Structure 1
């Protein structure tokens, strides 16, 4: 499995819609964390987006998975950047093996 850093950029006008869908979004993320697919995630302090760290077989599989996010179906994400990441030191390094 490969580790990927995923950056969400939220639509600037989507605050109320995100608030309404946040419980389902977090439930979805919690389930993925329980499966070991999501390693960690959290929003940026300015509310403009979030960073999520996933394990997936490839970027196509990860893209398919991200389309299942309730935030994606609510259309509050204006951009997604997916980058293969190789953590070599620290808590997440063990997941790169």
Structure 2
């Protein structure tokens, strides 16, 4: 399984409010099924936006997961991007491409 960073913005404040509860239920379900590692709003931006850390086999699998989010279904997302992420340093090191290399030895 790989990690993917997902970012999206919510330009419609009223629509965001209207669909927030189903979205939060969706978030909790993804945490429970293990596909969502972390999620939360970005801070200090003029536009409401969020980042999600998703674990999946590939980008198509991430897109299939994200496509079930009520915010996506209800057209409440813009500026969506998905990118694979390799967490070489930190708490997810053991799940990175460098898991067999001690962090102190990476790049030396």
TM over 0.5: yes
Quote the RMSD (CA, aligned, Å).
1.5
Instruction: With a CA cutoff of 8 Å and minimum separation of 6, indicate the structure with the bigger relative contact order.
Output: 1
In structure 2, do the counterparts of structure 1 residues 94 and 41 end up closer, same or farther at CA, with 3 Å as the change threshold? farther
Q: Which residue of 1 aligns with 2:79?
A: 79
TM superposition shift of 1:24: 0.7
Larger C-alpha radius of gyration, 1 or 2? 2
Q: Which residues in structure 2 correspond to 1:30-69 (within 5 Å)?
A: 30-45=28-43, 46=45, 47-69=47-69
Q: Secondary structure at the match of 2:34?
A: coil
Gaps of 5+ in 1: none
TM-score (norm 1): 0.87
TM-score (norm 2): 0.79
Between the aligned partners of 1:59 and 1:52, the Cα distance in structure 2 is: 13
Between the aligned partners of 1:25 and 1:93, the Cα distance in structure 2 is: 30
Aligned length: 95
